[in-house]
Structure 1
Amino acid sequence: MKSKELSVELRDRIVLRHRSGEEYQNISAALKVPKNTVASIILKWEKFGTTTLPRAGLLVKLSNQRRALVREVIKNPMVTLTELQSPSVEMGEPSRSTTISVALHKSRLHGSGQMEATPQ
């Protein structure tokens, strides 16, 4: 079972107590955090110099536009990728046709003539 992520404030308090010379067990008891979690936060801080690291993977490119694209394709299943691409170019956010195609595939829209969509 995966537990919840600790807040940045709590992680910073753990590091602050560690820097003041407090032991892992005392930090764990005072902040009600498991000792292994305290140890892993401190090790990560010593290795990277920060308690917040960027997440893995690329950022989603069409997070704001995906729903609009899906609506457009459901309304007009025979629309081409270049026609879908033009509104994003006008808004100043050009996207490749492959990016749009991938976004539609993730929304379970495949092929031009047989586009089946599940309502979201």
Structure 2
Amino acid sequence: MQTASTNICERMGRSQELSEFKRGTMIGCHLGNKSICEMSLLLNIPQSTVSGIITKWKQLGTTATQPPSGRPRKMTERGQRMLKHTVCRSRQLSAESIAKDLQTSCGLQISTARERIELHGMGFHG
């Protein structure tokens, strides 16, 4: 039997995504009139997670993970590293030449305005 402190420590922090089987088990328990507290104890999952999955199932009719909302980022982490490396290598380059260098080196096509925004976010000013 697990102690209360062990159980709390297991629950803290972000963990991996729940399997489809566990999600289906939650919906089956819900249809079998089990309470959220009972499902939480049975599956060793936080009550907020159980409640969220049941709410999603009621609203959307599915428990599958939905794609993130919003527009994807223009610059990836790799592109940001390349930009930082290019600027640190020679700080005297113009924004246009840096954009051309990024295009040829990693195929990343960004505007000079986006480049300046990214550099400002990295702490390069002026």
Give the structure-1-normalised TM-score: 0.71
Query: Which of 36, 52, 73 in structure 2 is aligned with 1:60?
Result: 73
Number of residue pairs aligned between Structure 1 and Structure 2: 109
CA deviations over 1:74-97 (Å, ceiling 9, x no partner): 222121111011133334431111
Aligned pairs for 1:16-95 (under 5 A) are 16-19=25-28, 21-22=31-32, 23=34, 24-48=36-60, 49-63=62-76, 64-90=78-104, 91-95=106-110
Q: Are 1:28 and 1:35, in contact at CA under 8 Å, matched by a contact in 2?
A: yes
Instruction: Measure the CA separation in 2 of the matches of 1:92 and 1:16.
Output: 46
Structure with higher helix content: 2
Q: Are 1:14 and 1:27, in contact at CA under 8 Å, matched by a contact in 2?
A: no
Q: Are 1:85 and 1:95, in contact at CA under 8 Å, matched by a contact in 2?
A: yes
Please, which moves more after superposition, 11-20 or 27-36? Answer: 11-20
CA deviations over 1:12-37 (Å, ceiling 9, x no partner): 51333423633233321211123333
- The aligned counterpart of 2:23 is 14
Give the structure-2-normalised TM-score: 0.68
* Structure 2 unaligned spans of 5+: 1-11
The structure, 1 or 2, with the larger RCO (C-alpha pairs under 8 Å, 6+ apart) is: 1
Instruction: Measure the CA separation in 1 of the matches of 2:110 and 2:27.
Output: 47
Q: SS in structure 1 opposite 2:125?
A: coil
Q: 1:73 to 1:34 in 2, by over 3 A?
A: closer
Q: 1:75 to 1:61 in 2, by over 3 A?
A: same
* Structure 1 unaligned spans of 5+: 112-120
Q: Are 2:53 and 2:63, in contact at CA under 8 Å, matched by a contact in 1?
A: no
Q: Percent identity, aligned pairs only? A: 20
The RMSD of aligned alpha carbons is: 2.5
Q: Are 2:23 and 2:63, in contact at CA under 8 Å, matched by a contact in 1?
A: no
